[in-house]
Amino acid sequence: MTARSPLAERPEHLERLGAREPALLAQVDVRADPSTAASLGFPVEPNIVASSSDRDILWLGPDEWLVVGHGGTAKALVAELETTLAGVHHSVVDVSANRTVIELAGSSRHELLSSACSIDLHPRSWGDGRCAQTVFGGAQIVLQEREGTTRVFVRPSFAAYVVDLLLAASEP
């Protein structure tokens, strides 16, 4: 069985938004003691992202992180993290199918998101390397700010709804 994006039928809508859907990113949820996580380079300050060449680590809570890697690497990420965390109390779970990702680009992306999201996305409080769990309209999302783009992690069943809200906000 081949994995299929929930937005596979919406490429023209994503294009109108200046958005794209990165191909089925690997997403691994990690729970561990913050001191253990810190020793591995995980961010321990709230709503911060640690990035390397092949992955981003999003702070989701005091003892929870989302490790995001390239598509098709989830098994390898899980194996690596299990080995690294062996001997300490932890949880490592592949949650790649739990959320799809919409990557917004362009100067109006924060304005579009602000149309149905209560987080202050002004540059004085929101910038590269930040992340947050929030609600967009009625959908739970995770936002990740990257250089020039904002990633919106959303449950597959709400992906079309989020695209529709963004399209409505983009119309004059």
Name all domains of the chain by residue range, CATH numbers in brackets. 14-170 (3.30.1360.120)
DSSP letter (8 states) at residue 143:
E
Q: In sequence order, what DSSP letters do the residues of 12-73 get, joined into one string?
A: HHHHHTTEE--SS-EEEEEEE-HHHHHHTT---STTBEEE-SSEEEEEEETTEEEEEE-TT-
Q: What is the pLDDT of residue 18?
A: 95
150: pLDDT strictly greater than 70 = yes
pLDDT in tens, 65-114: 999 999 999 999 999 999 999 999 999 999 999 999 999 999 999 999 99
pLDDT in tens, 8-27: 999 999 999 999 999 889 99
CA-based nearest residue to 142, from 107, 105, 113, 115: 113
Mean pLDDT of the chain: 95
DSSP E strand boundaries for 109-166: 131-136, 139-146, 149-154
Q: What is the pLDDT of residue 1?
A: 64
CA-based nearest residue to 28, from 74, 80, 89: 74
CA-based nearest residue to 72, from 28, 11, 106: 28
User: pLDDT-derived band of residue 4, with 50, 70 and 90 as boundaries?
Assistant: confident
